[in-house]
Amino acid sequence: MQRQSAARLGPLLLLLLLPLAWGKGPSPPRAAEELQVSNRLAGQAARVALHYLNYRLGSPSALRALGQVRKATLKTIPGIGHKYYLQFTTEDYKSSLNVGTCLATVFYLKRKPRPAVNINCTYTKDQKQIREDDYSFYKKMRQQTKPIIGNDIPDSYGNIEPALEPAWALAVAGSSYLMWEKSTENLGYFMAQVKNVKQWITKDDSIDFDYSVVLHEIPTQEMISCHLRVIWTPGHPLKVKYFCLSENQWSESEEGSGTESGSTNGIFNEKEAHF
Amino acid sequence: MFLANPSNMRLILFFSALAGAAWCLETFAGDQVLRVKASSEEEINKLQLLETLEHLQLDFWRRPSNPELPVDIRVPFPSLQAVKVFLESHHIEYSILLEDLQVLIEEEKQEMINNQRRERGTSNFNYGAYHPLDSIYAALDDLAAEYPSLVSKQTIGESYEKRPMYILKFSTGGTNRPAIWLDAGIHSREWVTQATALWTAKKIASEYGSNPSITSLLNRMDIFLLVVTNPDGYAFTHTNNRMWRKTRSKISGSLCVGVDPNRNWDAGFGGPGASTNPCSESYHGPSANSEVEVKNVVNFIKSHGKIQAFLTLHSYSQLLLFPFGYKCTNPADYNELDAVGKAAASALASLHGTTYKVGTICSTIYQASGGSIDWSYDYGIKYSFAFELRDTGRYGFLLPASQIIPTAEETWLGLLKIMEHVRDNQ
């Protein structure tokens, strides 16, 4: 009897011991790996999250820049992609003053063209002031009989003509859409300069701008030229069309809320997120 | 109207004799300016005749027209005697307005130089502005002139387009003392680096003797400063393309120009993080040290033989980096370099709150082969650091000039921290 059960046990035992025999063998999906706050991929992911936020907020007066990464975690999902969990501070784009903290996930998917972003931020900047600033820019542009035009913003010496500053800020917002779309885990972008801005006088409620922008691509160091068409009404999603010189087709923003690629609303309810 | 009378014939003969003389008009030595008062139409005619005699090389500052107005003539030295004889023999009144033109010109030139130097003078040079290459080079001269016992200007070679590569040597004496190397502007579009380096030069020069730290350092060590490592690129950013990064060397077999000088060093050359495409911004070039700008620095460092620290300035990102970039493994001196880097970043932040991240190139910025501080470290210069100055992307390369001095001031604190460590650990 015993000899019979031992015989059946044998192969079972072997099976259990196989992983040891192979050595390391195939590993299960890794648990979240904490990254150093100075890790460049963490910073890059935070920037992608902010591109998405700046585009979705669609407000030249509410643009944010990255402050400091406070916490970063990376989860690798084999065959699917890399998901970053981030906590970072933000600064007002113009004044550099701290304007709040954000929690975000940035999911670089192997099969999708652009990173999926979830971001939730605190606001310390006065919302009323933001709306007023946006509206006063909007009103001024609506009142133009001659279209606003400009070149090289900032110029070689870093100057931005005060009259053109809001148009520059709108270019940053519009470029944010494009930079979010183009970003990958390893390729990041900054808007280096507005080479050209030209306003289209519209008959409807929107203000409409044509931009030529130059993006700085990291780590390749290339300067990418893109054309942007930005159509904006305060309180409405930005409408952005773009065409970069290395590509051969126009890309457009969606009319909807873009929930499939990310969201800025809702409670952060990822169980695995430890912050 | 020219009348063929005997007196005129004499004129022609007389002056023709002088035609064979050799004119050496490079200077105005001995030239005089004569003021001639013609008192009749006839005399005017004679002066007009004089004008036609080209071999005299007369330069009429005021031409003969009517007897009411004086005629001013610059007479070259070789023609002086002939002209005076002519005027005197025809009883035409004249006086010497300017006795020796060259002397006057020399005096004027010197005055201009003094004025410019006074005007520009290192105390009036605007360190808070971006300057074209010529102005920067003039400022180097001014520094050497203003602090002659401390600062001297040397050349380490020429760029591809034959522009001189000037370094400033800060030395209180000795022979071939151990030294610190600092360079800026290897990537020409990073304008805040050349501006910071120039400010730093002034800072070092003016603080020697009053700042105990820099004084003790310079009493033991020399400092070499290369303000514009890539002058061809820098000139190009002013004339053609503000965003130009590379050198301006022609690449055989390609329409594209330029090599990334910070991928061209002999450290993991041709490895990851550098491009093989000549049209790329990070093209590493046909071979290590193919770029004369890089070669000149390498030659200088090697022939000096006692460089203890290799520091280089870039922008932007606010990072303080040490090797390696060509491989993602830590250098043997990781702990020390990290500690020094952190101390330097802390000192830097103490001034305006500007935060820097510290780490190896590979982990902090990206993997990049053929970089200068990797080469210097592998060559044996332990204290090899690269700064990426302001900002973090808002203005990027187009940093407003108003941020030059704050950037330079805070960077100085970081540099000083590193240099003090080098001084104390020789």
What mean pLDDT is predicted for residues A59-74?
Answer: 96
Asked if pLDDT for residue A208 goes beyond 50, the answer is: yes
Total Cβ atoms within 10 A of residue A205? 11
A 78-107 residues inside an 8 A Cβ radius of B: 93, 96
pLDDT digits (tens, 9 = 90+) for B282-297: 999 999 999 999 999 9
For residue B10, the model assigns a pLDDT of 66
Across B227-254, b (16+ Cβ under 10 Å) vs e yields bbbbbbbbbbbbeeebbbbbbbbebeee
* B171 confidence band (pLDDT: 50, 70, 90): very high
Integer Cα distance of B48 and B2 in angstroms? 9
Q: What is the pLDDT of residue B47?
A: 87
Whether the predicted pLDDT of A272 surpasses 80: no
The H or E element containing residue A71 is strand A64-77
Binned at pLDDT 50, 70 and 90, residue A36 comes out as confident
| pTM of the predicted structure, to 2 decimals | 0.77
**In the predicted model, what is the mean pLDDT of residues B162-170?**
98
Flag the least confident range among A3-7, A143-147, B27-31: A3-7
Active site residue ranges of B: 388
Positive or negative, the CA dihedral A260, A261, A265, A266 is: positive
Q: How does DSSP assign B185-220, residue by residue?
A: -SSTT-HHHHHHHHHHHHHHHHHTTTSHHHHHHHHH
Question: Of A90, A85, A87, A81, whose CA–CA distance to A114 is shortest?
Answer: A81
Q: Which of A50, A51, A221 to mutate to test the interface with B (most CBs of B within 10 A)?
A: A221
Residue A220, chain B, CB below 8 Å: the answer is: yes
Q: What is the pLDDT of residue A13?
A: 57
Chain A residues with CB under 8 Å of B399 CB are 158
CB pairs under 8 A between A and B: 73
Residues B318-353: tens digit of each pLDDT: 999 999 999 999 999 999 999 999 999 999 999 999
pLDDT for the residue B102: 76
Q: How does pLDDT run across B68-127, given as a tens digit for each residue? A: 788 888 898 888 888 888 888 888 889 888 877 777 777 767 666 665 555 455 668 999
Q: What percent of chain A is predicted at pLDDT more than 70?
A: 78
Per-residue pLDDT at A156? 97
Pairing type for strands A188-200 and A207-218 reads antiparallel
Query: Does residue A30 have a pLDDT over 70?
Result: no
Chain A interface, best mutation among B318, B394, B402, by max A CB count within 10 A? B394
pLDDT for residue A25: 45
Give the integer Cα–Cα distance in Å for B314 and B229.
11
Look at A180 and B16; give whichever has higher pLDDT: A180
Distance CA B43, CA B49 (A): 10
Place of tokens 């400010």: B199
Question: Between B55 and B281, whose confidence is greater?
Answer: B281
B279 reaches A (C-beta below 8 A)? no
What is the average pLDDT across A229-249? 86
Check whether B402 has a pLDDT greater than 90.
yes
Q: Would the pLDDT of A22 be above 70?
A: no
User: ipTM exceeding 0.85?
Assistant: no
- Residue in chain A closest to B241 (alpha carbons) equals A156
